[in-house]
Every structure is written in structure tokens, then in C-alpha cells.
Structure 1
Amino acid sequence: MFGAIEAGGTKFVCAVGNEDGSVLERISLPTTTPEETMKEVFDFFDAFELKAIGIGSFGPIDVNRQSDTYGYITSTPKTPWKFYNFLGAVKDRYQIPVGWTTDVNAAALGELMKGAAQDVDSCVYLTVGTGVGGGAVINGKLLEGYGHPEMGHITVEQHPDETFEGFCPYHGNCLEGIAAGPAIEQRFGQKGHLLADKKEVWEMEAFYLAQALMNYTLILSPERIILGGGVMKQQQLYPLVREELVRQINGYVALPPLEEYIVTPGLGDNAGITGCLLLAAQQLS
């Protein structure tokens, strides 16, 4: 049996399951402080005999194995978790192999192995919600190096009608600052789900997302891009993003059939926890 921790900024999902990513039992608990949250995490896992654990964490995190702070959450705005040795705490508790990556990398792995990208070797997973985050699996391997992808903080060109300055505390109007859910709400004065019939809202959103997908396409050449998160519950966004991507690419490179290239998550909201279980199983291979 394997353990999985999908650590989000709002909630933790913990699960136990099989090496194929099947969840047998799970809990969800609020992200408060490391002391409070990790006590509940350990209380859950203490009841099981685990072979390995996979962690997909909110970030930024340190994934560089040569670093003194490998396994830490680093410069997060969630102050209690800043420079918390997450991986070390779990390893100290259970003395078993533990896989460590970002929550969105874990989701990309889940989608590649069990979800919407099962038939390809490379995919990008982008979540668009209260923030924007992206992960990638390229030729079957998680994309990591000195650090990990921070796909939500790339620079984007401003829409001609843009008046909003962006909300990212680090970069202002980066992709996250200009296209995440809070940006939509602050720009138009209402939450996105209340603006479903306002075409101008989603055309502007598609303008920004397509820019990002063009960059990921040109740099990573994934075989599939999966768009998830709360903002992408607006299904009218998918055709708008596809059309806008074609316009922006402007014939420079060939794209796969768009309905197969830009898709919804095959695992729904379970991509992350499934990926964490698969990551745990990989630690024994």
C-alpha cells in the first residue's frame, strides 16, 4: 500500500492506495500551520503499513537534490510554511522512500499515466483557479532541474482593452496576476461563474491563456496540454483558447488536432492525488 499527500494552499488531501494510482481511502483537511496540519496527516497515515509516500506540494519548493534546503517549501506567501522541511518531516516519521514534487507536476504525472494523456509521452498540465500553476512530464519524466516549472509567472502581453494592473505580489501582471480567478473578479467586479454569459470576459481570458500555451508549445513541444482548475469549469473557454492559439502561432509551427491538443482533465479533480500515488510507487522502481 502507498501513501499520497496533495498539499494545497487551502487544503491537504491525503490518501492510501495501490501502485496503479487507485485510491482506497482518503481524507481532506484544511491547510493551517505545519504543526496542526501535519499532526492530522500523521494521524491518518499512522493507521497503515506503507511502502512509500508521494508528495505533491504547493510551492515554490526546493527540488534540487544538491541543495541544503532540498525538500523544503521555500518562499511561499503562506508565512507559517515558509522554509518548512516538508520532505524531512515525512521521512523522519516513516523511514520509507518518499517522492517529492510540486502539486501540478504530480497532476501532470497522473494525467499522463491514468488520465487524458495516457496515449502520449509528454504533456503539460495547467491549473487556472485562485492562482495559475503548471507542471510537465516530458518523455515520461517530470520536468525538474535546478528548480521546477513556475508556469504561472511568465510575462504576457497585455490585452488592448486591459485596464487591470494585476494582483501578483511579485510580478503584478504576470500570467497569474492577470488571468487567475481573482484577476477576473477584480477586473469585472464579480466572480467568474457569475459572468458566464459575458463573452468579452472569456475572450480576454483566452487571449492570455493562449499566449501561455504558445510559449509552452514553442519551448517544450508537449503532445498534449491539459487545462484544469476552477476557471476552466467555464467550458466555453476551451474553443476560445484553441482559436486564439491558432491566431497567435500564426502558422509558424504545426499543431496537433486542437481538440486533441488542448483538453479537459481526464481525472477531474483527482489528477493530483492520483499522481502522488503513482509518484510513491515509482520510488520503489
Structure 2
Amino acid sequence: MSGNRLYGCVEAGGTKFVCSLGNDEGLIGERARIATTRPEQTLAEVRAFFAAAADRHGPIDAYGIGSFGPIDRDRGSPGWGSILKTPKPHWSDAALVAGIVGDADVPTGFDTDVAAAAMAEATVGAIGGIVVYVTVGTGIGGGVVADGVPLDGERHAEMGHFRVPRHPADTGFAGRCPYHGDCLEGIASGPAIVDRWGCSLSDLPDDHVGHEIVAQALAHLSITLIATLSPRRIALGGGVLHTPGLIDRIRREARRLNNGYLLPDEMIDSVVAPTALDGDAGLLGALMLARRAAQID
């Protein structure tokens, strides 16, 4: 393929859609941030961005869309390219691919935003084997790739929706997940933090017990991933992970939980680590989804 090919890249998040262009050399500088309101409004703005881009640069050769979930990623399904039942108001059954690509007959790669970010993490870091990317923000989700390719299960992973042991100081909080209450997302996502303490984790005093509560929950996630997948890297991204000192707290708690068994303790520092791509990981992953779709099709 020529480096002159043009790709439409979309990171579709629960708060905002980020759109950009790319080619076979990387992302192009143009991008737009569009609020995630109702599907008809948000997707119309996304289409308008790419229509204007095509007027300036020529036709888009392929699209890559990394989306918040749950999504239908089975190409054999009549609902492929759609959001499934989601706690995000108005977005259940939204036809995401059709709403962005429209009638254009172009290859389109579609996966979760976290699977796309994991692709970017593995590719840019030149990491083989299993790589996991987890985002902790409006929700909690994780993606897994093997040698840079997303794992192809019956559905995509839902790492935010299992239960972890509760911190003794937090047993009175019922959790905010509308399906499971106090699953991981229900106790450690950004909205769950605000529900308890009225502000983001980064705004709490350094000695506030909230830091311990969230770190313990995310350390359990990390140790579970180590025990089940033995990944080369777990990259923790998202708004909650911008809290100063949180990664160190997670690592300390993960070492305590590990108790010297799964890995030498010093290896946890490289496995439970923030991604160097936080911010552009989703868009880079969307670009890789577009390139892969163009190659397959």
C-alpha cells in the first residue's frame, strides 16, 4: 500500500469522540473532539468532519473505529458495528459503523477502544506476546492483544465487570454499576469516586483513604491479569490514572497481593505500568484497525 492512502480514525468514547486522519506513516495533525450526546447528533458531527476532510484531501480509503462497549464485533452478525446494551443513555443498539461510514463502500476495522489502544501499545513498544491495556475513567475496560492482534473471543473482554474484594473502609458503598452494583467499575471508576467523595481522586488529600481503596481494587485487577494471561505488559491509562502517586500505590498493593508467588516482585513494576501513549493510544489503535482492514479487504 502507498503512504498516500488516507484513513479515517475514530476513538469513540463515552464522553467524547475523537476523530483524526492518518496514512501509512502515522496520524495526520487534523482532529476533532465531539461530545458524546445522542447518537444522531454525535454521529452526524463525525460524518461532517470526515466529509470536510475528504473535500480537502481526497477520498478516505479505510476507517478504523475503536469504541466504548459493549459492542458487536462479530462480522458475521447482523448487528456488527453496533453498540450493544450499555449503561450509556440513548446508545444501546446505536449503529456506530453505519452512522460514521454511511453509504461509503470502504474497508472498516471495528473493535473496542481498549483493544485498539492495546494494539498501539504493543506496536509502538515493539512488544510481542500478550499485552493488556486498561482504561480507568468514566468506566473501566480492558483490551488484550497477542502479537499485536486483538484476541478474537465470542465477545470482547469486559474487565471492568467482575467483583474484587472490598476494602474494609468501603463496605458501606453499594457501587454505581446499574447491572452489578459493586463490580470493579462500580467502585473504582471516575463516577464511582465522585459518588463517594464528591470530587475526583486527584482532588482528594494525599492521606485520604480513597487512594487506598482505588489502588487496592486496581491491584486486584492487575494480579488477576497476571495470573490468567501472564502478559508482557499491563498498561494502565485513563483519567483516574492521572492521579499523582496512584501507579506506585497500585504496584505496592500488587506486590503485597502477589506475595512473591506469580512473578519476582521487581517485575511487577514493568507489568503494572502507565502507557507512554496515554492520550493518543486510542487514535493510533484506530489507525492500526483501519490499516488492518485495508489489508484484509
Aligned pair partner of 1:121 in 129, 135, 141 = 129
Paired with 1:214 and 1:157, the residues of 2 have a C-alpha distance of 12
Deviation at 1:259, TM superposition (A): 2.6
Aligned pair partner of 2:119 in 98, 102, 109 = 109
RMSD: 1.7
Paired with 1:21 and 1:136, the residues of 2 have a C-alpha distance of 22
Aligned pair partner of 2:31 in 23, 26, 33 = 26
Paired with 2:38 and 2:189, the residues of 1 have a C-alpha distance of 25
* TM-score normalised by length of structure 1: 0.93
Q: 1:90 to 1:231 in 2, by over 3 A?
A: closer
Deviation at 1:24, TM superposition (A): 3.0
Aligned pair partner of 1:243 in 240, 252, 264 = 252
Deviation at 1:196, TM superposition (A): 4.1
Partner of 2:288: 278
Deviation at 1:252, TM superposition (A): 2.6
Letter in 2 for 1:7: A
Contact 1:64 1:145 in 2 (8 A): no
- The reply on whether 1:224 has 2:229 as its aligned counterpart is no
Alignment of 1:40-119 (within 5 A): 40-46=45-51, 47-48=53-54, 49-114=59-124, 117-119=125-127
What do the CA deviations read for 1:122-177 (whole angstroms, capped 9, x no partner)? 21111111211111112322023111011111111111222211111100000000
Aligned pair partner of 1:4 in 3, 9, 20 = 9
Alignment of 1:150-161 (within 5 A): 150-161=158-169
Partner of 1:148: 156
Q: Which runs of 5+ in 1 are unaligned?
A: none
Q: Secondary structure at the match of 1:84?
A: coil
Q: Secondary structure at the match of 2:164?
A: coil
Paired with 2:80 and 2:255, the residues of 1 have a C-alpha distance of 40
Contact 2:145 2:151 in 1 (8 A): yes
Q: Secondary structure at the match of 1:81?
A: coil
Q: 1:130 to 1:89 in 2, by over 3 A?
A: closer
Q: 1:22 to 1:160 in 2, by over 3 A?
A: same
Letter in 1 for 2:19: C
Letter in 1 for 2:241: M
Paired with 1:17 and 1:212, the residues of 2 have a C-alpha distance of 33
What do the CA deviations read for 1:181-215 (whole angstroms, capped 9, x no partner)? 22222223433222142252212211111111111
Contact 2:11 2:113 in 1 (8 A): yes
Partner of 1:193: 202
What do the CA deviations read for 1:202-253 (whole angstroms, capped 9, x no partner)? 1221111111111111112110011111111113111111111121122332
Partner of 2:3: none
